[in-house]
Structure 1
Amino acid sequence: MSQTQLSPRHLLTALIVIVLWGMNFVVIKVGLKGIPPLLLGALRFVFVAFPAIFFLARPKVELKWLIAYAATISFAQFAFLFSAIAVGMPAGLASLVLQAQAFFTVGLSALVFGDKLKTSNVLGMLLASVGLALLGSASIGVHASASQVSLAGFVLTLCAALSWACGNIISKKMGQVGILNLVAWSALLPIIPFVLMSCLIDGSAVVLSSLRNIDFNSMLAILYLSGAASLIGYTLWGKLLTTLPTHVVAPMTLLVPVVGLSSAWILLGEALNQTQILGALIVMAGLLFNVFGYKLVAAFAQFRKS
């Protein structure tokens, strides 16, 4: 039975997912120390798909939509994200910039489905754009430290966000489907493309050497990305979505970049400079306004009428 309020149990479940997903970006950076980004993507999805697909039924969607979802959410998003962090995007800022997917999703929904943009959506996009511009202006090509952004990493993270948004549109086209079944079966399709692209870009010798010499930290990173962040995270999140209204659950993802930025600062020493702090705050303000701004706009309209 669907509920309308967060119980302590639901709140604890949400916090577990937020921490799992927020820490995800630090773990990616750890994994990339020993494994090329596209090979890390392949290994992540190997352990997401196997053995899960032997216990979960294939989602009841047309094959073309499953392929499209896998190509965008599973392959493109993580190929761009892992590559971004590999070329210098700080893990904490990646967790924030990736949330631009919310605005890309709103824009694509307007184009594809004719959804009407609300004033809060537009204002939220404008705010976030200013914040992203500030973060982009902090890009430094040389003498890059843990707190500085490579321009290539910044652009690749935005590409990951756009890929995520495209996957959201495809998911909307598919309609109601078991989220864990979809995650597991869509993980099966990008494994070979990831391996082929890694061989093409990094070289087959590097790929084989990385597999032969994989260390303990890299294995833990792979298990975390596939097991904790993907299978456990999506399972718990799916349960929340089935028991609570979407408008109650969805805004809680705004806490993911808070955990991402905090954990990257504590564990990786990714302290933000003043420009990045200002940009991050403005992006968060834009995200918050995109989710909750319609209430403020409605209240202001009501106030003017009274």
Structure 2
Amino acid sequence: MSFAHLLLALAVIIVWGTNFVIIKLGLGELPPLLFATLRFVFSCMPWLIFVRRPAVPWRLLIANGFFLGFGLFGVLFIAMRSDIAPGVASLLVQTQAFFTIVLAMLLLGERMRAFQATGLAACVAGLAMFFFHVDASTTILGLVLTLACGLSWAIANLVAKKAAQIAPSLNMLGFMVWSSLFAVPPLLLASLFFEGPQRIADGLAHASAFGWAASVWQGVANTLFGYGAWNWLLARYPAATISPLSLLVPVVGMASAAIWFGEPLPAWKLEAGALVLLGLMTITLWPRLRARFISA
């Protein structure tokens, strides 16, 4: 990988990792479901005018929009309002790799291999440590909601995988733009029901320039730049070169939360995070390392 392309990959990782700090700050100005709604408004508008609809069934666009929009970010924003610290959230949403394997076994008939079982065991051990150390900043409810986000992200992964099978030349940026359109209605309806028209009106009326900038950042920087640049790199380099770099996202997330909010990093949290990351690394990297040793 060229140095310029490595810098591009690191820029995506920094954007994704520091986004949890931006989310927490944005939640200080906007109700969570309204904030999530605005994120996906800016992910699809006005880009729908310029990006052709992917040649995949509407049901896949709708499903991806729902699980990525409401299931991942809607629930994540609710959890991060007061029930989970940003650094912990950045780590736990990565359990989508854990849930993707489990769902592939249940729905696609895939068999769990030894290295996957080892990685999953490490993830479970790390997660158990978080559940044994709940406090005012990270509650049981927050942990459960964030794990539900990982599950929703895993379902969205399977939806995207199905879309890629139907259309092998699928433009994933276009898929994200058009599926974002279908994230807006369930998020807006949930906001109207749970937060109410008055709270929505107050949030929109009193949001500062930073609140609006945080919403645009969610839609444009994280979704369009992040996924666009990431998929651009994946089109030019082997997945084995690019994908493992995503494991740096929770590292950046926990570090940025510690720097900005002073989020504590006691020994148990570092150990729990290391176990989860070790499990994810085992699941992600072991097949490639094994293939390299065999070929050598």
Task: Tell me the TM-score range normalised by the shorter chain.
Answer: over 0.9
Contact 1:22 1:256 (8 Å CA) reproduced: yes
Contact 1:98 1:158 (8 Å CA) reproduced: yes
Q: Distance in 1 between matches of 2:138 and 2:272?
A: 12
Q: Normalization by structure 2: what TM-score?
A: 0.94
Q: Give 1:114's aligned amino acid.
A: G
The 5 A counterparts of 1:141-180 are 144=136, 148-175=137-164, 176=168, 177-180=170-173
Q: Distance in 1 between matches of 2:113 and 2:213?
A: 43
Match of 1:253 in 2: 246
Contact 1:120 1:297 (8 Å CA) reproduced: no
Match of 1:18 in 2: 13
Deviation at 1:295, TM superposition (A): 5.7
SS in 2 for 1:279: helix
Q: Normalization by structure 1: what TM-score?
A: 0.91
Match of 2:96 in 1: 101
Query: How has the CA–CA distance of structure 1 residues 298 and 12 changed in structure 2, closer, same or farther, with 3 Å as cutoff?
Result: closer
1:242-292 deviation digits (Å, cap 9, x = unpaired): 111112211111000011011111111112223222111111111111112
- 1:74 paired residue among 69, 73, 78: 69
Percent identity (aligned): 37
Q: Distance in 2 between matches of 1:28 and 1:170?
A: 25
Match of 1:127 in 2: 122
- Does 114-123 or 230-239 show the bigger shift? 114-123
- Does 201-210 or 92-101 show the bigger shift? 201-210
Deviation at 1:230, TM superposition (A): 1.0
Q: Distance in 2 between matches of 1:297 and 1:59?
A: 36
- 2:107 paired residue among 102, 106, 112: 112
Matched, 1:277 2:266: no
Q: Distance in 1 between matches of 2:82 and 2:54?
A: 35
- 1:64 paired residue among 25, 49, 59: 59
Deviation at 1:87, TM superposition (A): 2.7
- 1:44 paired residue among 15, 25, 39: 39
- Does 92-101 or 7-16 show the bigger shift? 7-16
Match of 2:284 in 1: 291
Aligned length: 290
Contact 1:70 1:190 (8 Å CA) reproduced: yes
Deviation at 1:111, TM superposition (A): 2.0
- 1:214 paired residue among 196, 207, 217: 207
Deviation at 1:296, TM superposition (A): 6.3
- Does 109-118 or 277-286 show the bigger shift? 109-118
Q: Give 1:260's aligned amino acid.
A: G
Deviation at 1:238, TM superposition (A): 1.2
SS in 2 for 1:111: helix
Deviation at 1:221, TM superposition (A): 0.8
Match of 1:185 in 2: 178
Contact 1:44 1:226 (8 Å CA) reproduced: yes
Deviation at 1:297, TM superposition (A): 6.5
Contact 1:119 1:294 (8 Å CA) reproduced: no
Contact 2:66 2:186 (8 Å CA) reproduced: no
Deviation at 1:88, TM superposition (A): 2.1
Deviation at 1:294, TM superposition (A): 3.7
SS in 2 for 1:149: coil
Q: Distance in 1 between matches of 2:290 and 2:55?
A: 40
Q: Distance in 2 between matches of 1:71 and 1:16?
A: 27
Contact 2:33 2:77 (8 Å CA) reproduced: yes
Q: Distance in 2 between matches of 1:10 and 1:223?
A: 25
Contact 1:180 1:235 (8 Å CA) reproduced: yes
Match of 2:260 in 1: 267
Q: Give 2:241's aligned amino acid.
A: V
Relative to its length, the structure with more helix (as a share) is: 2
Match of 1:3 in 2: none
Contact 2:69 2:184 (8 Å CA) reproduced: no
Q: Give 2:138's aligned amino acid.
A: V
1:68-111 deviation digits (Å, cap 9, x = unpaired): 11111222111111111013211111110001000111111122
Structure 2: segments with no counterpart, 5+ residues = none
